[in-house]
Each structure stands twice: as structure tokens, then as C-alpha cells.
Amino acid sequence: MIKSKFIVIEGLEGSGKTSACIYIKKILEEYNIKNIILVRQPGSTPIAEKIRKIIKTFHTEDIIKETELLLIYAARMQLVEKIIKPALKRGDWVISDRHYLSSLAYQGGGLGINKNIINQIQHLLLGDFFPDLTLYLDVKPEIGLKRILKRGALDRIENRSLLFFNKTRNMYLKNIKFNKKIIKINANLNIRNVTINIKQQLLRWLKKQFI
């Protein structure tokens, strides 16, 4: 039996992260990995969900970019300390919709906050707590936004410009380039091909865990 692992799914809006999290849980269960927790960032604790609402909702007062970053980390800390770390300690697996890479991409790339500031906050609050595996679902912003428009009204983050999402995607691509724990999946394809690729990559990674 493989010891507990922390798996993160990353990507822009419309990349299929939520579906991927559910699909990966199903694959792991087929390989007799039963104790699996799904979480999302920001969110998944009562306090973190309240912070999520603040981040996602439109306000008469603008949320400055540094405030957004700190709110994200407040929610992340609450989730990591209250749910993720205790679960891993129990031997459970955790699959998270977003983590640290999102902060680098959205607040760093999209909003232009210096990467060193984000790294300093990450180190100060979470130290070397990083995922065992990250699957980055790469989608072109125009394709992702077209998908989410079908869901209905856009929230505060989804409503940002195409330029913002292009900057965010570019930062994702820059940061995954030399990280061996991050696997890139082409999420521009139809859902069938995306899920096939996810399964192939996940099983390849799982095989290495057994060796």
C-alpha cells in the first residue's frame, strides 16, 4: 500500500479541474486506495468558504491585489492545518482543486505581484509543504472562458479580462517548465481525450510509487 499522497489539480477557469478531481478519485479507488478527500482552494472549511465568498463576489469597494493574495493564503492556511495535514497524517489521500501554483499564476502572473513576495509568504506560512503530484490542465483562455459562459453569470475572478487570463496562463507555463512533480495535460481537447490523458499520466505516476 502506498503511503498517503497530496495531489493537486491546477488550471484556468474552464479547464475541467472539478471533473478531473472526481475522475482521479475514481481511478485511485479502482486501485484500492479508498480513503480519499476532495477539497478546493479557497474553501472546504467553514471559515475558508466565507473567505472564498469574499474573493469571488463583486463589491462596491475594490479588493486590492495584495489583499486578494492574503485572503487566498488565509483560506489556504485554514484548509491545510484543519483538513489536509490531519488527513495525510491519518494515511488518507487528498486531492485539491488548486494550491500554491494558482497564487503564482493568478496573483503573480495575472495581477503582477512580485513572485518573491508570494514565495516569501508561502515559505513563512507553509514552509516546504508542497504537493506530491500536480496535474496542470492547460487550456487557452478563450476556450476556457467560452466553456464557463455556458454555466451562467461570471463571478469576480471569472469576469476578468482575456489579457489577465493570458498572463495567468503564461505564468503557469513558466513555472511548470522545470518542475518534475508537475504534469501538463492538454485541456483544449474534448473531455474524452482529456480524461484518457489524465488516466495515462496518473497510472504512470502511480506505477513509480509502487517501485
> What confidence score (pLDDT) does residue 95 get?
98
| pLDDT above 90 for 114 | yes
Return the closest-CA partner of residue 75 out of 109, 98, 106: 98
d(CA 103, CA 122): 9
| pLDDT above 60 for 36 | yes
| pLDDT above 90 for 155 | yes
User: Residue 139: how many CA atoms within 13 Å on its side-chain side?
Assistant: 26
pLDDT digits (tens, 9 = 90+) for 44-88: 999 999 999 999 999 999 999 999 999 999 999 999 999 999 999
**Using CB atoms within 10 A of its CB, is residue 157 exposed (0-12), middle (13-18) or buried (19+)?**
middle
Q: Please name each of the domains of the chain with its CATH number.
A: 6-210 (3.40.50.300)
The whole model's pTM is what? 0.96
Quote the mean pLDDT of the chain. 96
